[in-house]
Amino acid sequence: MADKNSLKKYEILQPLLLALMVTIGILAGRKIEQSSTPEAKIKTTTTTLSKPNSGFLEEATRFIQARYIDSININDVSEMAISSMLHELDPFSAYLSAQRQLLDSALSIEEAFGISVINHHHTWLIDQVVPGSVAWDMPIAPGDLIVRANDSMTNASILQSWQSPQLKLELKAPDQHNSTLVTLPRSNPTEINTVFPVAILKAGIGYIKIKHFGDHTYDEFITALDTLISKHKVKDLVLDLRDNAGGYIEECTRILNQLFKEKNTLLVATQGRTVRKAEYKTDGRQLFDLEKVCILVNARSASASEVFAGAIQDLDRGIIIGQPTYGKGLVQEQYMLSNGGALRLSVARFYLPSGRNLDLSRSENMISKQYLTKNGRKIARSPNIIPDIIVALDTTLAIPGWLSIKPTITAEIFKLKLDQRSGTFNPKSTNEVENKIIRATGLNINKLNKTQQAFLTEEITQAWYLAGKEYSKWLNQHLLKQPEIQSAISYLK
């Protein structure tokens, strides 16, 4: 009965609370550029809105608090109401509670200090050390237990530590009694590499991966491309935007500009009800002369990365390979609230050169119109980017209980790295590493199919090289096995 009563209260109060939260909630905050995730850059904005009918809303709230039959928590019900309303607007507008904001802080630690953390059985562990970050040359490795962060043991201190000018960590390696103290200076987020190490796939074919479009991604890209062309005589490029959730549209379009010789070609436009139309065009100042271009995408490629792939496709500049993208062609701003939460609102849309917009919430509109590329090719009627060459995902990859197994792999790998440094473990190949880790996890390898076994091998190999800070070595060994890379090489021959 208690649950039914709560639902009844919510249904009665929802209309008033929705109006109340919209009017009062978006009043204050401060305007900064910040990242809600390591990938996507959301603009956090301060604005002061007028309060029409605020007297009526305040009066209604006083009546509810004073006269409603049962005692209620206005704040809790209000959060439910505003979340419901925003969800109805589009899939990406959202209310972020103060607790959600705190949890998102775990992601910000990666940008501020170059480490990612995970909570495993109520214990915080180092998950990964970001290549090229301030933490990369420190005695920190995946699997380290975080005993204290900035002299505190609380979850909040760890999650909020990204705001500090420096991060003091007390770390303990698995199976070690003594802890290690490490102090990480706060780095400018732009100092963390967003462009992964370059690779040569075949003579004349280069590879660059962009994790997200950050503040200095363009500069990193130009440096990487210069290396490929000047040292390796690369003529064709494979640009990997898989798992790229977006970022700054300015950096995205600056890189796009380098792939076009023409001047004044529209790359993307943005426009909203209260946002003036802005157009991003090529300037004809191309630094390098690339011939063929392949863009790799998947279901986690979103926002600015979809703009990039969509512009290449619409203008017939190259070929798109992989899986259909996420479908988020929206510009968002984040409004901080006085309760510690935030409203993340969609304020404008991206429009690609063909005129199409990528928006899952308006998918019915996409189906009704046929868009064409620059050369007259028909574009798939879809609210996301449909690759020119689709590489189907293997659905047999899933390993039962994988989410609980992966942290164990992380911890076991670090134990083996310690043994390797002490001289008690000297593997001649990663097969020895794999066998030890599989025994530690308790996995019955005979119950996995061949595809699952191959997936497990790749995951363990990647984790082993990353723990040893040998990312480039793993990257070059791993790339050529991927079907998307094989498809790209076949196209570029």
Domain ranges of the chain: 2-29+43-89, 101-191, 199-329+355-390, 395-492
**Could you tell me whether strands 115-120 and 123-129 are parallel, antiparallel, or unpaired per DSSP bridges?**
antiparallel
pLDDT for the residue 62: 75
Q: What is the pLDDT of residue 374?
A: 97
Residues with Cβ within 8 Å of residue 323, at least 6 apart in sequence? 297, 298, 299, 387, 390, 391, 392, 393
Residue segments in the chain with a per-residue pLDDT below the cut of 70: 1-55, 57-58, 98-111, 119-122, 153-163, 174-175, 188-192, 197, 360-367, 394-397, 468-477
Element (H, E) at 209: strand 205-209
d(CA 92, CA 148): 35
- Under the phi-then-psi rule, with left for phi > 0, alpha for psi from -120 to 50, and beta for the rest, what region is 491? alpha
**Hey, which residues does 387 pair with through a beta bridge?**
none
Q: How many CA atoms lie within 13 A of 34 on its CB side?
A: 20
pTM of the model: 0.72
- Paired residues of 120 in beta bridges: 123
Instruction: Please state, in angstroms and rounded to a whole number, the distance separating the CA atoms of residues 146 and 118.
Output: 10
Confidence at residue 363, expressed as pLDDT on a 0 to 100 scale: 54
- pLDDT for position 20: 47
- C-alpha separations of 41 from 44, 90, 214, 425 in Å: 9, 18, 8, 43
**Strands (E) located in 330-486:** 330-336, 342-351, 389-390
Question: What pLDDT is attached to residue 45?
Answer: 57
End-to-end CA distance of the chain: 68
Q: What is the pLDDT of residue 344?
A: 86
- Give the number of other CB atoms < 10 A from CB of residue 235: 16
Q: What is the DSSP letter of 134?
A: T
Quick count: other Cβ atoms within 10 Å of Cβ 493? 10
The CATH homologous superfamily of the domain defined by 101-191 = PDZ domain (2.30.42.10)
Q: Output the pLDDT for position 365.
A: 52
Fold classification of 199-329+355-390 (topology level): 2-enoyl-CoA Hydratase; Chain A, domain 1 (3.90.226)
Give the Cα separation of 485 and 134 in Å (integer). 31
CA 263, CA 265: separation in Å to the nearest integer? 6
